[in-house]
Structure 1
Amino acid sequence: MATVTQQDEVRRDPRRWWALGALVASMLVLGFDMTILNVALPTLAGDLGASTGQQQWMADAYIVVFAALMLPAGLLGDRFGRRRMLIAGLGVFLAGSLAGALASDVHWVIAARTLMGVGAALVLPLALSVLPSLFAADERTKAVGVISAASALGLPLGPILGGWLLDHFWWGSVFLINVPMVALGITACLFLLPETRDPAAPRVDVVSTTLTATGLGALIYAIIEAPHRGWTDPLILGLFAASAALVTALVLRERRSARPLLDLTLLARRGFLLNTLAATLGMFVLSGLMFVLPQYLQAVLGHDAMGTGVRILPMMAGMLLAAKGTPPLLDRFGPRALVSAALVVLAFAAFLGSRTTVDSGYGYTALWLTIAGIGFAFAVVPAMGLALETLPGDRAGSGSGLLMTVRQTGSAIGIALLGALLAGVYGDRLGPAAPDAAHDSVVAAHAVAAQLGDPDLAAAADAAYVHGMNLVLVVVGIASLVTALLAAAFLPDPRPAAAPVTDVAPARAHGRQ
């Protein structure tokens, strides 16, 4: 009994709020690193000569590694010490940020983003799993809410902060900004966090982790390279076949495992499967739009980096508005009606955006972006919470891990697939008569047009890019409508007694406790 009292006293240590503040700084970094690079991509395309495919890899390298390593990273913390592995993750993220700031070519930037993905995969689950050692049960919900809010706040901060840095400093500053905040997190972890571990934690399944990473990596590489090599190129076909074989091997291994890394049997639950599908589609759309929009706003409409970041905010504002209004609407209409209607709204926004012309101007873009943000949040927020509510308590941890992994995979595939579609259509529309360098990206085309004094080339590139963006939005709209129909037909419709979880993080933290 004395031990319990002493533990409660430790948890009531006033330093716990300082420790939480440091964790919040770390989560902010992870949040805006998901979006900060998107604003920098046009600058990187101009300064480093990055093609569309290389820009896709800059964005996707972080997300692919993040998705592949998140589950084993949590097990490493359980087994070897959460504080130790959290510090290690922050250290790896810090090293990746420094490498990115000092990079001199595209390949080093991609390598740095990969390293940052490794660090982020350690930090995200472990930042939540250390909270029980800091806070008693009556304070833990508040602490988890603060952490979740910090992670969500980082998303809209990324474009604004990235734009401001690019307007005042060189592109490496979008990496260097991480250094002081991560250093603060490491210092706080060293002095303020107690060490905790779970002696009964299973061993990390290296084979399953390798199959996940290589299978997903092969798929993403094939999708990104296909527009340049051709979809029937032997290498591309071989990579698709290899990815299918690796994923099949992963599924077979996980089904035989007594303690699987990915509990795929959860997908047999209709509510979990369809809500996960809706949440994953939302991340597919959001990541694809965040890749496509900055180049349109900067190259076609002519805004600077800071202006681009600010002009993405209507989508974020729509998301925040919808997130606030979700609980009462969910209580009144139920999840099936709300999620289905939200996906229809998202489809409407995409189809509206697909009517964009070179002369449309920003006002039209702001309109459909706001509608898209509302549709996204009304679909994804309840879908993520309801996916976890379908799970029994003893499988909340594995279920939240599977949901986050699939959701991150949707982000990576969104950037790869929609970016590949854009690159292929842009190159075809621009035509073979244009200089080779102009086919790399619309930013490169503007640079070539300026060197040659050829405004017609810049105008042709703008028209080709807008045409490609419109086709991407049509695909997004169709995918949203199909998912809406599936949700309306098959989604279970329990009326919740209380408001659902508005962020997956609390449930994920519960699963780690």
Structure 2
Amino acid sequence: MTAPAAERPDLSHQGHPQRWLILGVICLAQLVVLLDNTVLNVAIPSLTSELHASTADVQWMINAYSLVQAGLLLTAGSSADRYGRKKMLMVGLALFGVGSLVAGLAESSGQLIAARAGMGVGGALLLTTTLAVVVQIFDETERVKAIGIWSTVASLGFAAGPLFGGFVLDHFWWGAIFLINIPVALIGLVAVARLVPESKVAQGDRPDLLGALLSTIGMTAAVFAIISGPEHGWGSGRVLLTAFLGIAVLAGFVLWELHIPNPMLDMHFFRNQKFVGAVAGAILVAFGMTGSLFLLTQHLQFVLGYGPLEAGLRTAPMALTVVALNLTGVGARMVRTFGTPAVIAAGMSCLAAGLVAIAVLGGRDGGYGGMLFGLIVMGGGVALAMPAMANAIMSAIPPEKAGVGAGVNGTLAEFGNGL
């Protein structure tokens, strides 16, 4: 199935003439979304004291965003394919901006949790449409490099969140970490309206409403079970019931998608070994990167006594390594030379080695040298693996399903974050 020419932007063989400027715009929008995945990590002490937030409140402030985002990513991607990627990108920016305003002015834990959930809706639309637009405006010769830059921003957003949050908290009150998103959202809206071409598929197929509902419920329940396990115990009734619900509903989603003529997610994609390998790798990279950053920022503040900005600065080398390697195109050149599987394997090996270095060397007498070495090695692994995996996932999916492909990529990342 291919999208009619009238429904896709008229691109030359070399891609859209303003493709690099468009990439900069959508990367800026993506950055603020991903910063909000980790920016609250360093704000926990401030939220606890100023909003009188309990441990459960803080968990929900963090989890409301990721739960809603994870649950809606596939549906958001499918909506972007059907109703227009540019249109959904603008809707996502608007929702994210409004949610940030409410969060920044929140006067209670409940208000902040609700605002974070609203931001998650906008974030789901933004994460799927940005990658889908990249696939649409770049041809195959430049796509790996463009996805590498996109992945750099994704890594930078996760890794720079603690640094950004620490800087803001050292100079302003905690609400500023949300209010600063508003001008970025406004700039993004204007730039997207002027620069990004519209692209969507034909409206002939009926929307897969039941598939959207099942994927949303299933993913939300599965991620909730994962993030609730450490607090309530993996054997508790709440966790087991939610996990069973998530698995059962996702199984129903798979069966439904296999038996309808126009599925939201074609399960036959999983017959592609490159696609399956990239899927598994995306979960593991998100698990290693996000989990280590969450623990390290808490360790640096609560155990070693650093302030928010100092903690953020000490986790920044990983982000800087990712940026340096991807902006120089190292990952893209290695994919062309050695192939996608070899580059993914090398990146995953570096990520594992970095985690081992932090665990073995980072805690020795509270020294920072071992931690620094591990963060740099992890950054190298992420820089190699993430662009290669994203490109493998998107290459296995037809261009008219680019939004769904981006939804798969984002869903796996959120699943790994939850782990």
TM-score range (shorter-chain normalised) is 0.7 to 0.9
Aligned to 1:296: 299
Answering whether residue 395 of structure 2 is matched by residue 411 of structure 1, we say no
Aligned to 1:313: 316
Select between 147-156 and 252-261 the one with higher mean Cα deviation. Answer: 147-156
Q: Pairwise mapping of residues 362-441 of structure 1 onto structure 2 (< 5 A)?
A: 362-389=368-395, 391=396, 393=398, 397=402, 400-401=405-406, 403-414=408-419
Provide closer, same or farther for how the CA distance between residues 21 and 108 of structure 1 changes in structure 2, counting only shifts above 3 A: same
Q: Return the letter of the residue paired with 2:405.
A: S
Asked whether the equivalents of residues 83 and 194 of structure 1 are also in contact (C-alpha less than 8 Å), the reply is yes
Q: In the TM superposition, what is the alpha-carbon distance from 1:243 to its structure 2 partner?
A: 1.6
Answering whether residue 272 of structure 2 is matched by residue 269 of structure 1, we say yes
Provide closer, same or farther for how the CA distance between residues 320 and 255 of structure 1 changes in structure 2, counting only shifts above 3 A: same
Aligned to 1:469: none
Q: Pairwise mapping of residues 69-148 of structure 1 onto structure 2 (< 5 A)?
A: 69-127=72-130
Provide closer, same or farther for how the CA distance between residues 50 and 81 of structure 1 changes in structure 2, counting only shifts above 3 A: same
Aligned to 1:177: 180
Per-residue deviation, residues 258-286 of structure 1 (Å, max 9, x unmatched): 12112222222222212221122101111
Asked whether the equivalents of residues 132 and 403 of structure 2 are also in contact (C-alpha less than 8 Å), the reply is no
The secondary structure found in structure 1 opposite 2:365 is coil
Asked whether the equivalents of residues 162 and 305 of structure 1 are also in contact (C-alpha less than 8 Å), the reply is yes
Q: Return the letter of the residue paired with 1:72.
A: T
- Aligned pairs, how many? 407
Asked whether the equivalents of residues 66 and 408 of structure 1 are also in contact (C-alpha less than 8 Å), the reply is no
Q: In the TM superposition, what is the alpha-carbon distance from 1:412 to its structure 2 partner?
A: 3.4
Q: In the TM superposition, what is the alpha-carbon distance from 1:234 to its structure 2 partner?
A: 2.5
Q: In the TM superposition, what is the alpha-carbon distance from 1:90 to its structure 2 partner?
A: 1.6
Select between 217-226 and 148-157 the one with higher mean Cα deviation. Answer: 148-157
Provide closer, same or farther for how the CA distance between residues 42 and 258 of structure 1 changes in structure 2, counting only shifts above 3 A: farther
Provide closer, same or farther for how the CA distance between residues 129 and 53 of structure 1 changes in structure 2, counting only shifts above 3 A: same
Q: Return the letter of the residue paired with 1:318.
A: T
**CA distance in structure 2 between the partners assigned to 1:370 and 1:385 by the alignment:** 23
| Identity across the alignment (%) | 33
**CA distance in structure 2 between the partners assigned to 1:329 and 1:17 by the alignment:** 22
Aligned to 2:3: none
Provide closer, same or farther for how the CA distance between residues 57 and 290 of structure 1 changes in structure 2, counting only shifts above 3 A: farther
Aligned to 2:241: 238
Aligned to 1:430: none
Aligned to 2:350: 345
TM-score w.r.t. length of structure 1: 0.67
Q: Return the letter of the residue paired with 1:29.
A: V
TM-score w.r.t. length of structure 2: 0.81
The secondary structure found in structure 2 opposite 1:104 is coil
Q: In the TM superposition, what is the alpha-carbon distance from 1:121 to its structure 2 partner?
A: 1.8
Provide closer, same or farther for how the CA distance between residues 164 and 375 of structure 1 changes in structure 2, counting only shifts above 3 A: same
Answering whether residue 33 of structure 2 is matched by residue 34 of structure 1, we say no
The secondary structure found in structure 2 opposite 1:103 is coil
**CA distance in structure 1 between the partners assigned to 2:201 and 2:120 by the alignment:** 25
Q: Return the letter of the residue paired with 1:258.
A: P
| Greater RCO (Cα-Cα under 8 Å, separation 6 or more) | 2
The secondary structure found in structure 2 opposite 1:262 is coil
**CA distance in structure 2 between the partners assigned to 1:320 and 1:23 by the alignment:** 17
The secondary structure found in structure 2 opposite 1:312 is helix
Q: Return the letter of the residue paired with 1:368.
A: G
Answering whether residue 241 of structure 2 is matched by residue 211 of structure 1, we say no
Provide closer, same or farther for how the CA distance between residues 38 and 314 of structure 1 changes in structure 2, counting only shifts above 3 A: same
Asked whether the equivalents of residues 43 and 308 of structure 2 are also in contact (C-alpha less than 8 Å), the reply is yes
Q: Return the letter of the residue paired with 1:59.
A: I
Runs of 5+ in structure 1 lacking a partner?
Answer: 415-513
Q: In the TM superposition, what is the alpha-carbon distance from 1:205 to its structure 2 partner?
A: 2.4
